């Protein structure tokens, strides 16, 4: 056992010696035997343990420059989630494993065995599930988990920020994952929870002013410098936090949908946060990304006013490749409206609601208990169709978004095919040789005429990139319907 892990365990024992009776226990939930449950916010007992925040942190130099932090909407190799026998967690695991690898963090081998039996018992296959053994204090992996980056040498790395809670085992998880996956871990001296950070993938990051409050020893310029050199954000937008909401995190009221679009919550007139979120939306809309494009802002109504300090939200969602998992269960009419807004904003994604009503009052929802693992492919591809329904004789159009994640020239081959109803696979394009310069991002528009005699029904368009004959780097697809003219 390393000295760092040993210290963290001792600190965890100290931190929770006085809190065990003050919070509800996870093992009150049938079948679960784990640590004490802790909400996203700091408990009264933890308020007296603030001196433990970051106590085991050890500064390391930043990665080789330049650094790129992928956006959450980009292709994923997996999603991290901490095991917890609760309906929301189980629903998320099921949805995630259908799309990509679900990495489940468990305390020990015994809990892994229990989790495997539980998942099998409820009909969830284990083929796309992997377990990571690492003791934790809480479920809020978004706030304490690893931020994955690409460094200037083309290496894949982890940035480990100081978790803003006195929960030493949680704060160790980035290093646990770095050790397990043999990935370098970079540790800036910055207190910053992951729920208060989002990026557009091309050099802009956004947070609430909580980052200033939690780092009183640093100037805004010094914080900007840390964010740039460790997380690759040449532009860092810091916005006022919501009134009354206890986490102060930006993922309660905003979501970056792609490199030029941001969704922002909206309250009705008379609500204390009506003007605050309108002002924040206006600030974002008046900001240009590093490609020189002004951000498009999509507004989404926040759920009706809850009891004090609950603040349910639809923005606390998770991208999982072709899916977006959206917290719902607050109000039927509001839920339906939110799903429609997501569907209109992201027509190429499958929008799926996750009932989070039972999490109201915990301080978070879907986004807060998950952390994305970006694709390690040197080049990624993302397909964005113009529509999802086309008539015979129409033009099927879409944008292929290619990103070279490395500082090296990448040469590869791309091919596309369609799965045609009643026919099967039908080759369309390629293989075509493509070369991207270091860090290059390309948006290529592609159009196909749909024949007048094309079979009607649901199609799937698939694009694959890699190096023949059998090395696949990345793949993306979308479905669309063909109807009679």
Nearest to 357 by CA among 38, 88, 147: 88
Asked whether the predicted pLDDT for residue 3 surpasses 70, the reply is no
Query: Phi, psi at residue 424, to the nearest 5°?
Result: 105, -150
Q: Mark whether 354 and 399 lie in a shared domain.
A: no
User: What distance in Å separates the CA atoms of residue 435 and residue 236, rounded to the nearest whole number?
Assistant: 31
**Mean pLDDT score, 432-442:** 93
Torsion of CA 76, 77, 82, 88, to 10 degrees: 50
Q: Mark whether 441 and 347 lie in a shared domain.
A: no
Asked whether the predicted pLDDT for residue 25 surpasses 90, the reply is no
Q: Mark whether 404 and 284 lie in a shared domain.
A: no
User: What distance in Å separates the CA atoms of residue 136 and residue 173, rounded to the nearest whole number?
Assistant: 8
Confidence of residue 309 (pLDDT cuts 50, 70, 90): low
**Mean pLDDT score, 300-306:** 86
Q: What is the CATH number of the domain that holds 188?
A: 3.75.10.10
Q: What is the CA radius of gyration of the chain?
A: 23
Confidence of residue 307 (pLDDT cuts 50, 70, 90): low
**Mean pLDDT score, 428-457:** 94
Q: How far does Cα 59 stand from its chain's mean position? A: 25
Given a contact cutoff of 8 angstroms between Cβ atoms, the answer to whether 412 and 434 are in contact is: yes
State the pLDDT at residue 361. 82
Q: Mark whether 350 and 459 lie in a shared domain.
A: no
Number of compact structural domains in the chain: 2
Query: Phi, psi at residue 235, to the nearest 5°?
Result: -125, 125
Q: Mark whether 95 and 181 lie in a shared domain.
A: yes
Strand, coil or helix: what is 417?
strand
Asked whether the predicted pLDDT for residue 14 surpasses 80, the reply is no
Tell me the percentage of the chain whose pLDDT exceeds 90: 85
Asked whether the predicted pLDDT for residue 32 surpasses 50, the reply is no
Beta bridge partners, 157, equal 149
Nearest to 102 by CA among 318, 329, 317: 318
Q: Mark whether 321 and 461 lie in a shared domain.
A: no
Q: Which stretch of DSSP H or E encloses residue 227? A: helix 220-231
State the pLDDT at residue 97. 98
Asked whether the predicted pLDDT for residue 181 surpasses 70, the reply is yes
Give the tokens for residue 169. 């085992």
User: What distance in Å separates the CA atoms of residue 290 and residue 204, rounded to the nearest whole number?
Assistant: 7
Asked which of 374, 393, 422 is the last residue of a domain, the reply is 374
Q: Which residue has the tokens 């007296």?
A: 48
Q: Mark whether 340 and 402 lie in a shared domain.
A: no
Confidence of residue 471 (pLDDT cuts 50, 70, 90): confident
In the residue annotation, 368 being an active-site residue is answered as: yes
Say which of 69, 102, 356, 368 is annotated catalytic: 368
Q: Which residue has the tokens 């539980």?
A: 118
Residue-range definition of the domain harbouring residue 360: 3-374
Q: pLDDT digits over 182-214, tens only?
A: 999 999 999 999 999 999 999 999 999 999 999
**Mean pLDDT score, 45-58:** 91
User: What distance in Å separates the CA atoms of residue 95 and residue 183, rounded to the nearest whole number?
Assistant: 27
Q: pLDDT digits over 390-411, tens only?
A: 999 999 999 999 999 988 899 9
Asked which of 341, 374, 407 is the last residue of a domain, the reply is 374
Asked whether the predicted pLDDT for residue 241 surpasses 80, the reply is yes
Query: Phi, psi at residue 69, to the nearest 5°?
Result: -105, 115
Each as own residue / partner, the long-range contacts of residues 23-31 (CB below 8 Å, 24 or more positions apart, any chain) are 26/84, 26/85, 29/85, 29/86, 30/85, 31/85, 31/114, 31/118
Q: Mark whether 352 and 400 lie in a shared domain.
A: no
Q: pLDDT digits over 249-266, tens only?
A: 999 999 999 999 999 999
Q: Mark whether 210 and 265 lie in a shared domain.
A: yes
Confidence of residue 429 (pLDDT cuts 50, 70, 90): very high
Q: pLDDT digits over 98-119, tens only?
A: 999 999 999 999 999 999 999 9
CA torsion sign, 293 to 294 to 295 to 298?
A: negative
Asked whether the predicted pLDDT for residue 7 surpasses 70, the reply is no
Give the tokens for residue 262. 């941001």
User: What distance in Å separates the CA atoms of residue 393 and residue 454, rounded to the nearest whole number?
Assistant: 9
State the pLDDT at residue 5. 44
Give the tokens for residue 113. 């065995």
Q: pLDDT digits over 361-389, tens only?
A: 888 999 999 999 999 999 999 999 999 99
How big is the chain, counted in residues? 485
Asked which of 314, 348, 374 is the last residue of a domain, the reply is 374
**Mean pLDDT score, 271-275:** 95
Q: What is the CATH number of the domain that holds 409?
A: 2.60.40.10
Q: Mark whether 282 and 307 lie in a shared domain.
A: yes
Half-sphere exposure of 336 (CA within 13 A, CB side): 2
User: What distance in Å separates the CA atoms of residue 410 and residue 432, rounded to the nearest whole number?
Assistant: 14
The count of other CB atoms within 10 Å of the CB of residue 2 is: 10
Confidence of residue 37 (pLDDT cuts 50, 70, 90): confident
Q: Mark whether 151 and 133 lie in a shared domain.
A: yes
Q: Mark whether 360 and 428 lie in a shared domain.
A: no
**Mean pLDDT score, 301-319:** 86
Beta bridge partners, 288, equal 294
Nearest to 284 by CA among 302, 263, 301: 263
Q: Which residue has the tokens 């929008």?
A: 351
State the pLDDT at residue 29. 36
Asked whether the predicted pLDDT for residue 30 surpasses 80, the reply is no
What pTM did the predictor assign? 0.88
Beta bridge partners, 399, equal 384, 445
């Amino acid at each position: 056992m390393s000295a760092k892990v040993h210290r963290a365990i001792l600190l965890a024992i100290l931190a929770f010696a006085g809190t065990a009776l003050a919070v509800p226990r996870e093992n009150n939930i049938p079948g679960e035997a784990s640590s004490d449950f802790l909400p996203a916010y700091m408990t009264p007992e933890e308020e007296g343990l603030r001196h433990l925040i970051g106590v085991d942190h050890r500064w390391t130099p930043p990665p080789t420059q330049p650094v790129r932090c992928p956006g959450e909407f980009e292709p994923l190799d997996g999603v991290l989630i901490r095991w917890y026998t609760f309906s929301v967690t189980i629903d998320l695991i099921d949805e995630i494993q259908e799309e990509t690898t679900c990495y489940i963090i468990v305390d020990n081998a015994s809990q892994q065995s229990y989790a495997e039996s539980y998942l099998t018992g409820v009909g969830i296959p284990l083929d796309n599930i992997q377990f990571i053994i690492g003791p934790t204090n809480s479920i809020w992996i978004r706030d304490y988990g690893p931020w994955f980056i690409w460094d200037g040498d083309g290496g894949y790395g982890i940035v480990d920020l100081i978790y803003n809670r006195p929960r030493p085992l949680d704060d160790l998880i980035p290093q646990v994952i770095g050790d397990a996956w043999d990935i370098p871990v970079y540790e800036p001296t910055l207190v910053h929870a992951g729920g208060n950070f989002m990026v557009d993938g091309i050099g802009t990051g956004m947070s609430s002013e909580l980052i200033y409050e939690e780092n009183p020893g640093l100037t805004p310029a010094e914080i900007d410098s840390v964010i740039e050199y460790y997380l690759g954000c040449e532009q860092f937008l810091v916005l006022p936090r919501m009134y009354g909401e206890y986490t102060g995190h930006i993922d309660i009221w905003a979501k970056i949908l792609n490199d030029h679009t941001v969704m922002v919550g909206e309250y009705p007139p008379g609500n204390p946060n009506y003007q605050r979120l309108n002002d924040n939306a206006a600030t974002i809309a008046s900001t240009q990304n590093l490609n020189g494009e002004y951000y498009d802002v999509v507004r989404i109504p926040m759920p009706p006013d809850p009891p004090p300090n609950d603040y349910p939200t639809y923005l606390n969602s998770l991208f999982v490749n072709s899916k977006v998992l959206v917290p719902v269960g607050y109000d039927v009419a509001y839920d339906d409206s939110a799903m429609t807004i997501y569907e209109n904003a992201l027509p190429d994604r499958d929008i799926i609601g996750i009932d989070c009503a039972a999490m109201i009052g915990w301080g978070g929802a879907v986004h807060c208990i998950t952390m994305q693992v970006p694709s390690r492919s040197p080049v990624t591809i993302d397909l964005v169709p113009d529509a999802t329904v086309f008539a015979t004789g129409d033009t099927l159009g879409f944008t292929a978004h290619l990103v070279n994640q490395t500082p090296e020239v990448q040469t590869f081959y791309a091919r596309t095919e369609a799965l045609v109803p009643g026919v099967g696979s039908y080759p369309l394009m390629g293989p075509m040789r493509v070369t991207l310069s270091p860090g290059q991002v390309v948006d290529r528009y592609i159009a196909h005429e749909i024949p007048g005699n094309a079979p009607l029904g649901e199609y799937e368009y698939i694009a694959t990139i890699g190096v023949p004959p059998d090395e696949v780097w990345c793949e993306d697809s979308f479905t669309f319907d063909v109807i009679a003219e």
